[in-house]
Amino acid sequence: MEFEAVIGLEIHIELNCATKLFCDCPNNPGDEPNINTCPVCLWFPGASPRLSRAALEKAALLCLSLNAEIQSTSAFDQKVYYYPDLPKGYQLSQAHLPLSRGGWIDITDEDGSVKRLRIHHIHMEEDVAKLVHEMEGRKPVSLVDFNRAGAPLVEIVSEPDFRTPHHAMEFLKALRAQVRNVGSSECSMENGTMRADANISIRPKGTSQMNTKVEVKNMNSVRHVGDAIAYEISRQSAAVQAGEKIVLHTRLWDPEKKVTTPMRAKFEGPCVPDPCVPVIKLSGAEIEALRARLPEMPAVRAERFVKQYGLSAEEASYLSTDAEMAVYFENLIKEGVAARTAMHWLTTQLMPAVKDKRQELWQTSVTPARFAALLKMLAKDEINANAAREVLTHLFESDESPEAIVSAKGFKQVSDRGEIDSLIDKVLGDQPGAVADFKNGQAKALGFLIGQAMQASGGKANPKVIREILTKKLEALCKA
Amino acid sequence: MDSVFFYRNTDKTVSSSGALRKMKIALQPNISVAGWPTEAGSNALAGFKALENATVAERAVKESAQLVGYTRMSEFGFGLKDSMAGAALKKNAADAELVLDLAGEARLSAARAGVCGFKPSYGLVSRFGLAGLIPSMEAYGILSSEIKNIRDILQSVAGPDERDSSLPDEKTPELKPAKINPKKTTLGVIKEILKEMPAKERESFEGKLNEFKKAGFTIKELSFPDFSQFLAVHKIVGSVEASSCAGRYDSVRYGKREPGAKNWNEMYLSSRGAAFGTLLKSYLIQGAYFQFEGYSAYENACRLRARLVNQMKSLTGHSDFIILPAINTAAAENSATLAETYAQFIYTAFANVTGQPALYLPDKKGEGLQLTAARLADGRLLDMGEYLISGGGK
């Protein structure tokens, strides 16, 4: 029997707000344990939660970036359970009246067609504390770090529209691009600012029944989500073929062994309306004001880049995914760099260098103005590509202008024909073997001789001029 | 051991310029005062000292009140068992007391002490700093023999507070005194309540109505067949909120932890089991039942609450004030069980469910009255109290 999978995702995203959701504590979970705490996030007697407006706005922008419909009324509920990571016996979450309903992401399916994957709803909630299990001698102890308690989260619950691992991975990539683009979160699965759980069930292909699902957790990259879903589909298919019954439970993805294993069932508590956090009312005008703050969406921007700058669809889509990169690209163009040069040097040289130095594009010392000055010298043949790459590494280390670096370090390209001419004569004299090879019709020898001439110039000669003069001289030698 | 005070403040320094100068106010130990043992009458908070001042305490001190200490209270203020509310007034150790009113505790404590007891409208006074139990129903009751004291305190502590975002976004009503003209004032009486009263109480109650009539008030009979539902709603919604609210008392960050637990489930069970008293425990377990097993009953109770609030709103629109009894003489004086506790509050719990103000006025025979009015008509209710206490404008 052929099976198809029915997959839905539940995605938690940590908002990059300065403070926690219900108090003014810094939202820096990675700080020294229990530094970022106060009577509210430790839930001391008499403390009273105050909803952060910044968190609400970031959450709402996130919803709008995913085509979701912000609700005029939303409210917090108490998800009741007792666990040491939860300082008050319940988690504040929106169970009955979520911040938004609906929404979708369009992805490109494996056959190239567009597939729309729908979102059921998006709600806000607070994160819980972090538990650290250690041994004090032979006695196991559990330590609680409340820095993360009360951190602002949103949870995106999709419709079960996904059928393949590809759908889930493409959905997550597009989601990350769109949310990063509005600036609500970094959405890094590796750093834990985005966590995705998958609900997977299978059914005979072509039927519409909904069978018992299995939840899979603990994937910390988009790739792992795809792998875990693929594994789970084959595991369930094999189980059903063998006549086993699928039971509702949760499994953990093991990235080492690349398998899912069952985990102990977590107690599901009830959700009761919270009487302390005020109900959130958003008027149509307020929602429109938020919508007006939305930046250009990646897909729209990519289309514009194709039209405006003549980039290919792939190039435009790659540049548009990252809002910072797209902005940087357009700044280079404003500085007078040709679109193709800007695209090529930004994506193949600057981005890897920035990443390598663990910097962010918006705060690197290689500003669009400095990088553009370098690329313009390249365009005018004042330096060659090798030199440009060298100068780029210097740009990271000093505040000097590219022009100053080029003249100080002697990167200026030599295009003087007389100088190159004598250089080539010397190379031809030193390499009679290569000249003989060329005469015998071995075209490779030309490349070798160009390289030798380049080396002789200390990498500064204009390669075009070398090739031109060398070719002429070799042809003359052949005729002689 | 001090039978009335749980903690006495030895610091007598006060500023001299405020509206509450020379007024001695006793608090309950669920109202945070930085450094005081804010234990809320519970072992769950044994040894806990407040870190910050509750807004009410801060505002009262700003108006030069002298906070004399914490009086002994029932666990988290639920019920009247072990509560010494009102005793400080009787002993002249305070001019006023702040007493949490969850179902009518402040009003009935006033009745015991023979003083006035006022529960303000929900949302008029910030609950910041209150170790509360039923967030959507609780209010600070103010006890004093003088309505003027009650009004002065209310004026000093009422109003918006950015630290309590559960306060409704509305204008603080006028609280200044104004005159009552009996000829232009209608007093409503709920006939279903009258019908259920024991004969002796009913006779006394009707006697008072006749006096009001003689004084020129218009008495109007009102019908509220569902009045008894208020207590049912309170039982379910109140206990659900209490169960959540007490969830933080888990011995993880503060409070006493019972030794010997092998894992944290045991730690919760043994610590919470040892911390809470029998009455509160049964209350919290009842709440947990409606959270987990009886959730649909809880949902129904919420719907019923909305309906009762609307019915009461329409009723308070048909009269200036509603007069009701306060004390259920059929209930046990010293309630030990949930059922006995609820029985005490059959005439008072409604105001906690709706959030409207209610005032207990004593009389010499210990057969005081309860007055209520529309939500935020607190000023008028105190005007009426003042009028009646002073002998009807004579």
pLDDT at A439 (0 to 100)? 85
Query: What token pair was written down for A470?
Result: 């060398």
Tell which phi-psi region holds residue B366, choosing left (phi > 0), alpha (psi between -120 and 50) or beta. left
Please count the other Cβ atoms lying within 10 Å of the Cβ belonging to residue A479.
6
Q: List pLDDT tens digits, range B260-275.
A: 888 888 999 999 999 9
pLDDT at A44 (0 to 100)? 94
Asked if the Cβ–Cβ distance from B131 to A45 is below 8 Å, we say: yes
pLDDT at A364 (0 to 100)? 84
Asked if the Cβ–Cβ distance from A90 to B244 is below 8 Å, we say: yes
Chain A residues with CB under 8 Å of B292 CB are: 80, 269-270
Query: What residue of A is the nearest CA neighbor of B162?
Result: A50
pTM of this structure: 0.85
**Rounded distance, CA B42 to CA B284, Å?**
14
Is residue A49 a contact partner of residue B244, using CB atoms and an 8 Å limit?
no
Asked if the Cβ–Cβ distance from A46 to B240 is below 8 Å, we say: no
Distance (Å) from the alpha carbon of B129 to chain A's nearest alpha carbon:
4
**Rounded distance, CA B220 to CA B87, Å?**
36
**Rounded distance, CA A16 to CA B31, Å?**
35
pLDDT at A266 (0 to 100)? 67
| Strand pairing category for A194-204 and A3-14 | antiparallel
User: Does the pLDDT value for residue B19 go beyond 50?
Assistant: yes
User: Side-chain half-sphere of B266: how many Cα atoms within 13 Å?
Assistant: 6
Is residue A10 a contact partner of residue A197, using CB atoms and an 8 Å limit?
yes
Query: For B274-382, where are the E strands, in sequence order?
Result: 321-324, 358-361, 369-372
- A294 vs A178, B23, B230, CA distance in Å? 10, 56, 48
Q: List pLDDT tens digits, range B308-325.
A: 999 999 999 999 999 999
Is residue B222 a contact partner of residue B315, using CB atoms and an 8 Å limit?
yes
Q: List pLDDT tens digits, range A126-172.
A: 999 999 999 999 988 889 999 999 999 999 999 999 999 999 999 99
Is residue B309 a contact partner of residue B73, using CB atoms and an 8 Å limit?
no
Q: Which residues 6+ apart lie within 8 Å of A207 measured at CB? A: none
* Regions of chain A where pLDDT drops below 70: 266-267
Q: Which helix (H) or strand (E) holds B25?
A: strand B24-27
Please count the other Cβ atoms lying within 10 Å of the Cβ belonging to residue A439.
13
Tell me which of A182 and B15 has the higher pLDDT: A182
- SS3 letters across chain A: CCEEEEEEEEEEEECCCCECCCCCCECCCCCCCCCCCCCCCCCCCCCCCCCCHHHHHHHHHHHHHCCCEECCEECCEEEECCCCCCCCCEEEECCCCCCEECCEEEEECCCCCEEEEEEEEEEEEECCCEEEEEEECCEEEEEEECCCCCCEEEEEEECCCECCHHHHHHHHHHHHHHHHHHCCCCCCCCCCCEEEEEEEEEEECCCCCCCCCEEEEEECCHHHHHHHHHHHHHHHHHHHHCCCCCCCEEEEEECCCCEEEECCCCCCCCEEECCCCCCEECCHHHHHHHHHCCCCCHHHHHHHHHHHHCCCHHHHHHHHHCHHHHHHHHHHHHCCCCHHHHHHHHHHHHHHHHHHCCCCHHHCCCCHHHHHHHHHHHHCCCCCHHHHHHHHHHHHHCCCCHHHHHHHHCCCCECCHHHHHHHHHHHHHHCHHHHHHHHCCCCHHHHHHHHHHHHHCCCCECHHHHHHHHHHHHHHHHHC
Is residue A209 a contact partner of residue A203, using CB atoms and an 8 Å limit?
yes
Preferred mutation among B125, B252, B298 to probe A, highest tally of A CBs within 10 A = B252
Residue B124's pLDDT band, with cuts at 50, 70 and 90, is very high
B270 burial level (CB within 10 Å; 0-12, 13-18, 19+): middle
Q: List pLDDT tens digits, range B155-213.
A: 999 999 999 988 888 899 999 999 999 999 999 999 999 999 999 999 999 999 999 99
A33 burial level (CB within 10 Å; 0-12, 13-18, 19+): middle
The mean pLDDT of chain B is 94
Q: Which residue has tokens 């004569």?
A: A425
User: Does the pLDDT value for residue B394 go beyond 50?
Assistant: no
Distance (Å) from the alpha carbon of B351 to chain A's nearest alpha carbon:
17
pLDDT at B324 (0 to 100)? 97
Query: What token pair was written down for A113?
Result: 């067609």
Asked if the Cβ–Cβ distance from B48 to A144 is below 8 Å, we say: no
Query: What residue of A is the nearest CA neighbor of B136?
Result: A275
Preferred mutation among B38, B42, B165 to probe A, highest tally of A CBs within 10 A = B165
